[in-house]
Amino acid sequence: MAVDSSTKPLDIGIIGGGLAGSFAAVALGRLPNTKITVYEKSPAATEVGAWISLTNATFDVLTRFIDSDKLNGIAFRGDPNNEYVTRHWKTGEIIYTQETFNRSRPFVEARTHRIPLHNLILEHVPSNVEIKYDSNVASITSSPEGITINAKYDKKDRHDLVVVADGIYSRIRQQFFPKGAIKYKGVVAYRSVFPESLVSHITDLPSDTSVWAKSGSVVFLSKLGLGQYGVVAIISEPEATAGKLKWNRGTGEWGRKRLKEFFDQWDSRINQVIQIVPEILAFPLESGPWLSNLVVDDQIAFIGDAAHPTSGVYGAGASFGFSDAWALYRSLQETSSNHWVRAATVANKYNIKLALFLFNETRRYFLQRVEKQIAIDAEVGRDHLSKAKDDKEWTDKYLIVRSGGEWMRSHNVELEYQKVRDQYSVLLQRNLTSFQTLGHGLTEWDIPKL
Ligand SMILES: Cc1cc2nc3c(=O)[nH]c(=O)nc-3n(C[C@H](O)[C@H](O)[C@H](O)COP(=O)(O)OP(=O)(O)OC[C@H]3O[C@@H](n4cnc5c(N)ncnc54)[C@H](O)[C@@H]3O)c2cc1C
């Protein structure tokens, strides 16, 4: 196939420059013959100063573009096996250790904090990607000619493809799916990151990453790399209390008092840490229904929390967003004319409709399974764990029914993508705009109407 050397670049707009949007810029910025603009409403890269777990899947995906030494350089991985250690809420006795199967150590999950992670990702955004800060996108308009960005400045940019990564409170999701309201989940996460030196006097503090759990409340303590230490406490709060707390805002002395009282009877090391925390930030956790299809009008792709709005579920929300971006990158790469021609020309023509179909097929079944697991775990907590007669029964039941979640944290999006691609290989190899079904296996229902 001859490639027209005058082929126009694929013009991509990314709305939101948080973790998922920035990583999408890193990945899509490596595709040939593209013009990419990121719209970020903040005046500069500002991030929530909180702990973030890097899952196995995060390592797999990020290290495609970011050197693993650099990623490990901002993270903490406990010894010897790096497990999350679950402890008895009062005695601190280890009751469970989370297994990591058979991975080489530089790619085993670890803990870090958002600011260095976001900065590391931004350092890898190629120079051909333009990031427009102070660009608050109010809405987008989709038409056969492209998608128009309606932002609070005069010029209306138009793109061939828009990636929506504007987070859990996504305006664009509300625009297209107005019924998917975000609701308070009944729990508040209190979080803080501070210099590790502040806890050095607590001599018996575990050197691993530990979680203490009791009746649906949990507290995590861990080093986070770069000399920082983190605490996360997730506890039920009535709506009235949550309503007074602001997302990512300090809670002052009220927060410290609240946590001291709440954890008063727990392992004393928890309260020793709470005493010295300089500032406790509040995150009233909210969620909404996940998108069952991540693609709208064959030219808009939702990724990250904009697509699956649940704050911090399984400590893997960012990981899901990175995998979304990877699936999109691979789908576009595969459906560009050059990929098949393999000619040494810079001109590429992309089949957006087919790429978005592959992206959606790669992600949506996995995400639906995660959403189902959230519902199952909520039901187990409500109908089973909460009925335990005493502490011992709760712990016994918890150990039986807790979901391991390894399949989420280690989900291999590249293999999932390859599975989808191979199923549709006839379409891809011919880079079709029309097609015939294969007979067995694929039906017309399965195949995109290109
Ligand atoms: C308590 C808690 C704990 C968590 N722990 C973990 C963890 O351990 N591991 C993990 O992987 N994940 C964790 N998460 C989840 C993780 O923080 C999110 O999944 C992740 O930040 C989602 O990235 P995102 O880019 O989709 O959204 P965000 O990071 O929220 O980024 C959205 C970006 O869009 C911008 N934006 C919004 N609206 C507009 C607009 N109209 N125009 C332009 N720009 C806009 C915002 O300014 C922001 O920069 C946690 C979350 C919470 C709340």
DSSP string, 225-250: ETTEEEEEEEEE--HHHHHHS-TTEE
Q: Which of 132, 137, 166 should be mutated for ligand 1, with most atoms under 8 A from CB?
A: 166
β-sheet bridge partners, residue 228 = 195, 225
Distance, CA 438 to ligand 1 centroid (Å)? Answer: 41
Same-domain pairing of 188 and 178 = no
Question: Could you tell me the residue range of the domain that residue 330 belongs to?
Answer: 10-79+108-182+288-430
Contact 375, 384 (CB under 8 A): no
- Specify whether 339 is located in the same domain as 350: yes
Judge whether residue 326 has pLDDT over 90. Answer: yes
Reported as a single tens digit per residue, the pLDDT across 331-370 is 999 888 655 554 444 456 788 988 999 999 999 999 999 9
C-alpha 166 to ligand 1 mean position (Å): 8
In a domain, 88, yes or no: no
Rounded to the nearest whole angstrom, what is the distance from the C-alpha of residue 18 to the centroid of ligand 1? Answer: 6
Mean pLDDT, rounded, for 75-91: 84
pTM of the model: 0.92
The verdict on 32 and 73 lying in the same domain is yes
pLDDT at 404: 75
In a domain, 156, yes or no: yes
Mutate to test the pocket of ligand 1, among 46, 283, 311, 371 (most ligand atoms within 8 A of CB): 311
Q: What are the tens digits of pLDDT across the range 172-218?
A: 999 999 998 899 999 999 999 999 999 999 999 998 899 998 888 99
> How many domains does the structure of the chain reveal?
2
- Most informative mutation of 14, 42, 52, 294 for ligand 1 (most atoms within 8 A of CB): 52
Q: Is residue 340 part of a domain?
A: yes
- Using CA positions, which residue lies closest to atom 35 of ligand 1? 16
Distance from Cα 25 to the centre of ligand 1, integer Å? 15
With CA atoms as reference, report the closest residue to 358 among 294, 439, 262. Answer: 294
Instruction: Please give the torsion angle defined by the CA atoms of residues 17, 22, 25 and 30, in that order, rounded to the nearest 10 degrees.
Output: 170
Same-domain check for residues 297 and 382: yes
CA of 347 to the centre of ligand 1 (A): 35
* pLDDT number for residue 405: 84
What is the rounded average pLDDT for all residues in the chain?
87
**Residue that is last in its domain, among 287, 307, 325:** 287
Amino acid code (one letter) for 386? S
Query: Does residue 310 lie in a domain region?
Result: yes
User: Could you tell me the CATH number of the domain that includes residue 117?
Assistant: 3.50.50.60
Q: Measuring CA to CA, how many Å separate 106 from each of 83, 102, 103, 118, 251?
A: 14, 12, 8, 19, 36
Give tens-digit pLDDT for 349-359: 788 988 999 99
Location of structure tokens 């107005």: 178
CATH number of the CATH domain containing 283 = 3.30.9.30
Final residue belonging to a domain, choices 262, 287, 312:
287
Q: Of 229, 262, 287, which closes a domain?
A: 287
Same domain, 171 and 189: no
DSSP codes of every residue in 150-197: EESSS---EESEEEE---TT-HHHHHH-TT---EEEEEEEEEEEEEGG
- Is 446 within the bounds of a domain? no
Nearest 5 degrees, angle CA 238-CA 374-CA 255? 30
Residue 92 DSSP label: -
Q: Where do we find the tokens 């975000």?
A: 182
